[in-house]
Homo-oligomer: A and B are copies of this chain.
Amino acid sequence: MTFPDLFDEFRKAILPGGASGTTLSSLKAVARYTSAREGDAPFKGNGVDQIIFIASGSTKLVAHVSQGREQVVAFHFKGDLVSVPATVAHAYTLCALEDCELVFFPADDFLQIAKQEAQLIVKILERALRSLARSREKAVALGRKTAGERLASFLVTMAERIGWSSEDAVELELIMSRRDIGDSLGLTVETVSRQLSELRNAGLIETSGRSHFRLLDIESLHSRAGHLKAAA
């Protein structure tokens, strides 16, 4: 896709209602775009905060703790908006899970322009609050849940974000590797694999190939995830 097309994707996703022409053109002036191949890390947290729109593809945001110790802080899919913070206590890297097209802005410039357009900034705030809520949920899982609960939780959450319903199941295409899932849940590859086998044996999920999942019993998964919905 060309830059104007990508910017238009961004406009449609974030400002469905439309915005003043001047705001849009100022934004367009500071916007940049880039494409990334699977495995690329187009953004390494450096001096400046970045705001990134995923026009296509999917990414993971990784914090580097030490060599070999990584925490996946979030996954993002087409249409998501990501804030990559400048390096503070840890270095963050945005990494492409598959080929991606990205529109990005330095956060300072973006906010400066957004000030002109309350409608826009409210949208950004709403998305930031949603990211915050998801990050808190992750903290709960990492701090107080067992490996089994984390896996169930992960599957249910991913189903809500990128799953689709079929005849008798919720289908899910999980493009990230078992290692990525482990790094996201604070577990090792081996534990992830064992928990998936456990769920398969219990008849709650089926997998075909490396990335296709069928969730056969969402209710039980919710219950294993320790979600409130289950208690009700």
Contact = CB atoms under 8 A, between A and B. Distances in A.
Contact of A186 (B63, B122, B143): B143
A193 interface: no
Contacts of A114: 118, 122
Interface of A: 49, 63, 65-66, 69-71, 73-74, 83, 85, 87-92, 107, 111, 114-119, 121-122, 124-126, 128-129, 131-133, 135-140, 142-145, 153, 157, 183-186, 225-229
Contact of A125 (B87, B111, B143): B111
A115 B119 contact: yes
Contacts of A225: 89
Indicate how many identical chains form the complex.
2
A228 B87 contact: yes
A65 B129 contact: no
Given A111-B126, A125-B128, 17 more contacts: A65-B145, A71-B139, A71-B140, A71-B144, A73-B140, A83-B132, A88-B137, A89-B153, A90-B228, A107-B129, A115-B119, A128-B129, A132-B135, A135-B135, A138-B139, A142-B143, A143-B183
Contacts of A116: 118
A116 B122 CA distance: 10
Contact of A133 (B85, B126, B229): B85
A225 B88 CA distance: 13
Interface centre among A71, A126, A132, A133 (most CB of B within 10 A): A132
